[in-house]
Structure 1
């Protein structure tokens, strides 16, 4: 559905993107994560044909995103993180305008989503909060019969209940064989929804793969209480941040060394053992903390 090959984008002497590569397959949700300024929105603007890449090749549905943008847009739904609306129109009028641009209005689907997102469509857009403006974009996107959904920080301003409704909508379009490119800084959201994840840092893709494939870079947190002193564990390869507190131990283990460390624990008479699996957030923070430390050094 999306193919991005060696995309570079320069703004004057500044290189915003440096050889970006990734793809989104049919029927999958692809998480595109990174901090502000990493290049996520620049990449999405290229995919939407808003700006042209300096070099490289980007295709959606096998079509060039710059040369064939109009044809591509007929099958794409896009939600930005900051939604600007016509303030004199009502929410309902704006939703219908967006849907007419797609060619038709599925009134049943539209009304269902208006109810699920708890939006009052009779109010003027100028009176809406940021969260309600975001709901307008989400209702418009999920009411359309798109094949690809490009979502750039789509839940900005939504409360937790509405975030849950959004997640349900993503799962529904995926179940219908649609594809989703989800750019988000809410890592729990990405972890819950995405089949594969790409991490971008300073305009470069530094990791890409399934969550299971990426978790080998993270560490599992262990809480341990033993009958005998287990201080020797801190000498094992793959053990980090070892802390002893009142005969209890806390430490982290590289995932690839976890089996060996667990095997070693039996020597000390385990009284309590808690294991917290690695999360996408741990992966994300590990990459960026290492980057910041190298710069400070």
Structure 2
């Protein structure tokens, strides 16, 4: 079941095109990672989803309703956490959480207490005294305390310490288990890698890749460290081998994942003593996309560019 569908979304500000034909799809019970550098168009896309900005062109539907004209109805079923939370300075954290929960029509106090404890927040302090991390906690507590069907999280862990990031990840996995859907916009790639079922990468206002991590990993290279009885010859001439270097650990190089079999066969004849491989990370994928010299930068898993 499709919860959110963005089709050919274009947003212009005067002559500047912020979004150029963006396509996104999020299904029930799925976590979609939405990644890209600052200025790529993540927040603009989210503002269109929230009905704050009107699309110049294209269709944006959430729960089958129009994101702009049905925004009030849609907001009853979504929870949103921005990357920079501004709060009422004279209210306490607890009062703000209660206000947010009430606005969503929920009155589940036990949920609220559970999350305040989890995120280790003192709700009695005035908001003006809170650090950035604590302001972020208030938005997260309010979001997870409400019974939403879709969570739109835009850089939600900015300002949180690693311990609280772990709590956040547990909360996201819990709502997924309950069949809820999550759109997670983040530049913390390890976070996306741990949580997301699929990833969409946006660059300069266009989606350049969409797919599961396993689908996207074919574009990345595995890092190998090899030690052999005899020196390896002709390694650099093999297809799919890059950055060959001699180090204290052994011979290090990168290899296209689909060429591993051939390369290992070649190395094997020199008598393998040690072989270590590090799996490709989302970070590798991300860096290759944003390296202007990369010939793969404009390939799309599903042709969404």
Both proteins in one fold, TM over 0.5: yes
Assess if the C-alpha contact under 8 Å between 1:79 and 1:137 holds in 2.
yes
Q: TM-score, normalised by structure 1?
A: 0.97
The DSSP-based 3-state class of the residue aligned with 2:87 is: coil
Which is further off, 281-290 or 32-41?
281-290
Supply the distance in 2 between the matched residues of 1:104 and 1:281 (Cα, whole angstroms): 39
- Is residue 2:118 matched to residue 1:85? no
- Is residue 2:156 matched to residue 1:166? no
Measured after TM superposition, the shift of residue 248 of structure 1 is: 2.1
- Is residue 2:256 matched to residue 1:254? yes
Supply the distance in 1 between the matched residues of 2:154 and 2:216 (Cα, whole angstroms): 22
Alpha-carbon spacing, 1:228–1:119, altered in 2? closer, same or farther (3 Å): same
* Corresponding residue for residue 4 of structure 2: 2
Compare the two structures and name the one with the higher helix fraction.
1
Backbone CA RMSD of aligned residues: 1.5
- Is residue 2:125 matched to residue 1:123? yes
* Corresponding residue for residue 38 of structure 1: 40
* Corresponding residue for residue 152 of structure 2: 150
Assess if the C-alpha contact under 8 Å between 2:106 and 2:147 holds in 1.
no
Supply the distance in 2 between the matched residues of 1:35 and 1:200 (Cα, whole angstroms): 8
* Corresponding residue for residue 95 of structure 1: 97
In structure 1, the gaps of 5 or more residues are none
Assess if the C-alpha contact under 8 Å between 2:228 and 2:271 holds in 1.
yes
* Corresponding residue for residue 301 of structure 2: none
* Corresponding residue for residue 214 of structure 2: 212
Count how many residue pairs are aligned between Structure 1 and Structure 2.
Answer: 295
Supply the distance in 2 between the matched residues of 1:96 and 1:245 (Cα, whole angstroms): 58
Measured after TM superposition, the shift of residue 104 of structure 1 is: 2.0
Supply the distance in 1 between the matched residues of 2:76 and 2:33 (Cα, whole angstroms): 23
Alpha-carbon spacing, 1:59–1:121, altered in 2? closer, same or farther (3 Å): same
The DSSP-based 3-state class of the residue aligned with 1:257 is: helix
Which is further off, 277-286 or 240-249?
240-249
In structure 2, the gaps of 5 or more residues are 297-305
Supply the distance in 2 between the matched residues of 1:187 and 1:231 (Cα, whole angstroms): 36
Measured after TM superposition, the shift of residue 261 of structure 1 is: 1.1
Assess if the C-alpha contact under 8 Å between 2:29 and 2:179 holds in 1.
yes
Which is further off, 118-127 or 258-267?
258-267
The DSSP-based 3-state class of the residue aligned with 1:242 is: strand
* Corresponding residue for residue 240 of structure 1: 242
The DSSP-based 3-state class of the residue aligned with 1:120 is: coil
Supply the distance in 2 between the matched residues of 1:243 and 1:231 (Cα, whole angstroms): 13
